[in-house]
Amino acid sequence: MADQTRLFPEQNAANGGKSSFDGADPSGHRARLRKRLMSGGDDALADHEVIEYLLMVVRPRIDTKPIARSLVQRFGSLAGVLNADPQALALHPNMGETSAAALHIVALAARRLARTTVREQPVLSNWQALLDYLHIDMAHLNVERVRVLYLNSQNLLILDHLVGDGTLDESPIYTREVIKKGLDVGAAAMILVHNHPSGSPQPSRADIQITQKIMEAARLMGMTVHDHIIIGREGHTSLKAKGLI
């Protein structure tokens, strides 16, 4: 735990070098926060209050509100904080590894829950769950990530394959790797996915061209490309829905 004398110097000076915040809740703030959390809906707490409560659980003897506000200010939103690089969280003022781990585990749990939901039903009849999963996992990445979702003949997810981080490559090698992996796992279909770190999910010419190349190669091998989904902080784009494939 970080030294409280460094966390709140203005309080320490006024109290002979000791923090006046000892985990007690004389104002009732924490009790009210807990009551709103337990009895309210999904929007009962503001973004910074969610972060504040998470940090409060692991660091009950300090005031976590200012830390929470500074995290949201730096990373932009609740999702931005929870999906931030763990090292960046740990190095944030007044954080450290324990606090960073408490936030990181929430994002990890959310991804696993969303992934489990996707795996339980045919993907094409569970489309919103798929989009939720992809947004949780990719929308706030600072690098472009390419992945392929391989499906069986019942459109159940066989493999969520991370192709790599970087830019979408149009080379024939990339196409061969995607098709080979599909054959290796016995896939009947696939969904291409990548994110745009810029935030806008609008497809580029390269996005459309590589999709068409993979579709043609997949067709020759008896596989179907159902869609190419682009994820961004501003939403998502389905190339199929836009009539681009």
Per-residue pLDDT of 94-152, as tens digits, reads: 999 999 999 999 988 988 888 888 888 888 888 999 998 898 888 888 888 899 999 99
Q: Cβ neighbours of residue 212 under 8 Å, at least 6 residues apart?
A: 245
For 173, the token pair is 């090698």
Q: Clarify whether residues 136 and 69 are in a common domain.
A: no
Q: DSSP states of 180-223 as a string?
A: HHHHHTT-SEEEEEEE-TTS--PPPHHHHHHHHHHHHHHHHTT-
CB-based burial, 199-214: b 16+ in 10 Å, e otherwise? eebebeeebeebbebb
Q: DSSP states of 32-94 as a string?
A: HHHHHHHHS-TTSS-HHHHHHHHHHHH-TTS--HHHHHHHHHHHSSHHHHHTS-HHHHHHSTT
Q: Is residue 224 part of a domain?
A: yes
* Number of domains forming the structure of the chain: 2
Q: Is residue 213 part of a domain?
A: yes
The order of strands in the sheet holding 235-238 is 157-165, 145-151, 189-195, 224-232, 235-238
Q: Clarify whether residues 128 and 169 are in a common domain.
A: yes
Torsion of CA 69, 73, 75, 79, to 10 degrees: 60
Domain region containing 95: 4-110
Q: Clarify whether residues 147 and 228 are in a common domain.
A: yes
Contact between 231 and 192 under an 8 Å Cβ cutoff? The reply is: no
Contact between 192 and 229 under an 8 Å Cβ cutoff? The reply is: yes
Contact between 185 and 159 under an 8 Å Cβ cutoff? The reply is: yes
Express each pLDDT in 172-212 by its tens digit.
458 889 999 999 999 999 999 999 988 789 998 888 999 99
Q: CA-to-CA distance for 44 and 26, rounded, in angstroms?
A: 22
Question: First CA to last CA across the chain, in angstroms?
Answer: 54
Domain boundary among 82, 110, 138: 110
Q: Clarify whether residues 185 and 131 are in a common domain.
A: yes
Contact between 69 and 48 under an 8 Å Cβ cutoff? The reply is: yes
Q: CA-to-CA distance for 13 and 17, rounded, in angstroms?
A: 5
Q: Clarify whether residues 104 and 18 are in a common domain.
A: yes
For 142, the token pair is 């600072």
Q: Clarify whether residues 81 and 180 are in a common domain.
A: no
Q: Clarify whether residues 70 and 138 are in a common domain.
A: no
Q: Is residue 160 part of a domain?
A: yes
CA distances 129 to 71, 122, 201, 218, 224, Å, are 28, 11, 18, 25, 21
Domain boundary among 110, 141, 161: 110
Q: CA-to-CA distance for 49 and 41, rounded, in angstroms?
A: 14
Domain boundary among 51, 85, 110: 110
pLDDT at 167: 56
Contact between 158 and 152 under an 8 Å Cβ cutoff? The reply is: yes
Q: Clarify whether residues 86 and 188 are in a common domain.
A: no
Q: Is residue 117 part of a domain?
A: no
Q: Is residue 245 part of a domain?
A: no
Contact between 148 and 190 under an 8 Å Cβ cutoff? The reply is: yes
In the predicted structure, residue 1 carries a pLDDT above the cut 60:
no
Q: Clarify whether residues 101 and 146 are in a common domain.
A: no
Q: Is residue 244 part of a domain?
A: no
Quote the pTM value: 0.71
Q: Is residue 142 part of a domain?
A: yes
In the predicted structure, residue 4 carries a pLDDT above the cut 80:
no
Q: Is residue 180 part of a domain?
A: yes
Express each pLDDT in 205-239 by its tens digit.
888 999 999 999 999 999 999 999 999 988 899 99
Q: Clarify whether residues 131 and 230 are in a common domain.
A: yes
**Residue 221, domain CATH:** 3.40.140.10
Q: Clarify whether residues 89 and 161 are in a common domain.
A: no
Q: Clarify whether residues 105 and 140 are in a common domain.
A: no
pLDDT at 40: 79
Residue 149 identity (one-letter amino acid): L
